[in-house]
Amino acid sequence: SFERGRSLKIGMRHLAATLVATSALAADFSSPHPHRETRAPFRPESKVVGSLSSSELEVLDRGEVVLKQSKGKAGGVGVAVEDVEAPPSVVWSQLLSFETYPTKVPRVKVCENYEVNENRELKTRFVVHVCPGYNVEYFVRHVYAPHSNALVWTLDYDKASDLDDVHGIWRVEPHPSKRGWSRVEYSADLRLKLGVPSFIVDILTKKALKEACHWVKLESEAQYKSQKHPRDDGTLFGSAVALLDAGLRDFEASVLDAVTAIRKHSKAAFAPGPAPLLDASTRRRPLAMLRPRRPPAPPAHHQPPRERRFRFLPRRAP
């Protein structure tokens, strides 16, 4: 009973701390954030991960994630690296489709873009479910830099967010040794507001770091396997067969489109309608205008030119 009462007290303390922290949070779309950026954000060319050790490369070869994390009282910095069996184009299609995050990313309840600029800048509203009765709402400014294979983000400081500050980066590059694979790097620097319980800090740092990498690998590989040709086994021959098959399918589709267009044109040409303004003979024979005209017959006295024949005389003796 003593242990039960102690655990009940700890649970009530966590609940009270959660309620206090929830009341302190006040995300507001129409109000600015209390401050601007507190530290230098990531840049597209920033190097997040240095050279990997042999043990870390073995972890990646086993299909696992390399995690590095440093946690403080009100946040932390996390770095993750993983190999994905899908090309970078497929991984980017998953990362940039923010509207689909609630259906595939754990804890994300709301994800919607409220501003998209021509310079590859997207501003997105997130609502993340941390624990029962506790949600975090924040506004993020993303900048996609395809020339650097990176997506960087910070808070949108023109909107008031529940997070004190955050910035991060995604980097997706072709795998250095596996054809058709990608190496994905992720890093985030998170700062929460004062008064947030430590277990919430753990959820938003350590657990969120693992979940962020897991869903990218899962969704990207599933999409790539659904699009991959069955003969494409990663070898040069298999890729050539898949490429040739795709080219033949495209050619067949173009031929079918051309045949369909010709049929539609033919039906329109022979459809019943008002007779054209032509002479009487053409009206009696509406197909005469479509038949090729024969050249006029030559006159009776005409004779074809004779072929010129050359006679070779023997060479005279000198």
Look at 191 and 232; give whichever has higher pLDDT.
191
3-state secondary structure (DSSP) of residue 304: coil
Quote the pLDDT of residue 19: 47
Cβ neighbours for 85, distance < 8 A, ≥ 6 positions apart: 178, 180, 181, 221, 224
Lowest mean pLDDT, pick from 41-50, 67-76, 114-123: 67-76
Q: Give mean pLDDT, residues 161-180.
A: 91
Lowest mean pLDDT, pick from 138-147, 177-186, 306-315: 306-315
Q: What is the DSSP letter of 173?
A: E
pLDDT band at 296 (very low <50, low <70, confident <90, very high): confident
Portion of the chain with pLDDT greater than 90, in percent: 33
pLDDT band at 240 (very low <50, low <70, confident <90, very high): low
Q: Please check the confidence at residue 188 and state whether its pLDDT lies above 80.
A: yes
Report how far apart, in Å, the C-alpha atoms of 199 and of each of 60, 68, 74, 100, 194 are: 29, 19, 11, 28, 14
- Longest Cα–Cα distance of the chain, Å, equals 142
With a threshold of 0.85, does the pTM exceed it?
no
- C-beta atoms surrounding 106 within 10 Å: 14
Q: Say if residues 144 and 132 touch (Cβ distance below 8 Å).
A: no
Q: Choose the most confident range, by mean pLDDT, from 84-88, 246-250, 298-302.
A: 84-88
Residue among 126, 137, 158 nearest 35 (CA): 158
Q: Please check the confidence at residue 279 and state whether its pLDDT lies above 80.
A: no
pLDDT digits (tens, 9 = 90+) for 11-33: 555 554 554 444 445 788 889 99
Quote the pLDDT of residue 303: 66
- C-beta atoms surrounding 68 within 10 Å: 14
Let me know the angle formed at the C-alpha of 205 by 201 and 208, rounded to the nearest 5 degrees: 120
Quote the pLDDT of residue 139: 95
